[in-house]
Amino acid sequence: MKIFIIAGEDSGDKLGSAIIDGLNNILDTPPIYVGIGGNGMKSRGLKSIFPMSDLSVMGFIEILLQYKNLKERISQTIISVLDEKPDILLTIDAPEFCFRVAKKIKSLNSNIPIVHYVAPSVWAWRSKRAKNITKFIDHLMALFPFEPNYFHDVGLSCEFVGHPIISENHVEDKIITEFKKEYCLKDQPIILCLPGSRKSEINRLMPVFGETLKKFSRALPNAKFILVSTPDVYEHSKQYLEFMPQDIIFLSPEKIGMDKYLEFKKASFKLSNLALAASGTVSLELAANNVPMVIGYDMSPFSKVIIGLMLRTDTVTLVNLICGNRNIPECIGSNFNQENLFLEMVRVYSNNRCQITDFSTTMSLLGKTETPPNVRAANSLIKYYSSFKKA
């Protein structure tokens, strides 16, 4: 079996890595993996046709500016899929890219089943997408339990498979001990800084995050700060270190190697008392580790206007959406500034009981007590492939 997998950013690479593990676990013979992926998927045998970082673009303006390059990569990917003749095309999130590829492949070769992993957020904005994607997506695997009904209503096969985050947060005690020794950490408060996985996010968020942390360090002088950079934006992040507290720990794979970076990242999450983070799936990682958080995000003025017109929900934080509460504060758009972020950090650091309760609720709703999500996703993929072949 050959599976062509497309992931467009760090979170997609993590999901792709998890489902590869799941497939290798349930199948007698591991499939051949080709497509587009990051370090996680490549370390599991995926042959990536070009660097995944070429697709890590966020926001309407940013996409327009990179449109020529993205268009070339779309064409390259379509040609590669047709040449490889995979048994399954699995696209992961990144709808701006993946759906363009899927639409063209479906028109050129309808014999390739197309499965998309991570349902579009039709419950938040652009609800008409649910109907539109039935034209080129055959099966959808959803991360959240409330999503399948939106797609069943328009006749699309969709299954809730859970979120891999609920089974990813284990870290051995010896790793925590090694991490603390490496960075001379004792019992002082630890504050995480997570400014995103895209260059556009680093550009907009990191300077404001840094100034906020400096102010927070004056309010809590004994705190230690840890900046977690994803591999794809490590070099880009360096130019913004001047905005950060002087003694911040900069956690990156370049300095310590990929394996230790992944272990130390888990250790930093396990030990932290508070996080200042970009909006995105990182809120689920923090929730899985019971790290109270404040969310900050900003985008181009044009993107703000478009999102404002289309948004159908009053929160963008996944934990808030899943558990139904609004206990994780968000400083977004016009509210994104160091004063607002600082005040929210002080408030959450002082009292975070409601967030901790929400974390437990969120993990339960994501299927924490059931079969691991990556195995459920793998089973869903193979089950749909079997039914597609019989049809």
Instruction: Indicate whether 369 pLDDT > 90.
Output: no
The answer to whether the CB of 275 falls within 8 A of the CB of 355 is no
Q: Give residue-wise pLDDT tens across range 106-123.
A: 999 999 999 999 998 876
At 309 the pLDDT is 45
The Cα 166–Cα 289 span in angstroms is 9
Domains observed in the chain? 2-162+369-390 (3.40.50.2000), 173-365 (3.40.50.2000)
The answer to whether the CB of 369 falls within 8 A of the CB of 363 is no
Q: Give residue-wise pLDDT tens across range 216-269.
A: 999 999 999 999 988 778 889 989 999 999 899 999 887 788 889 989 999 999
Coil/strand/helix, residue 358: helix
Q: What is the pTM of this model?
A: 0.74
The Cα 293–Cα 148 span in angstroms is 28
246, two tokens: 């002087």
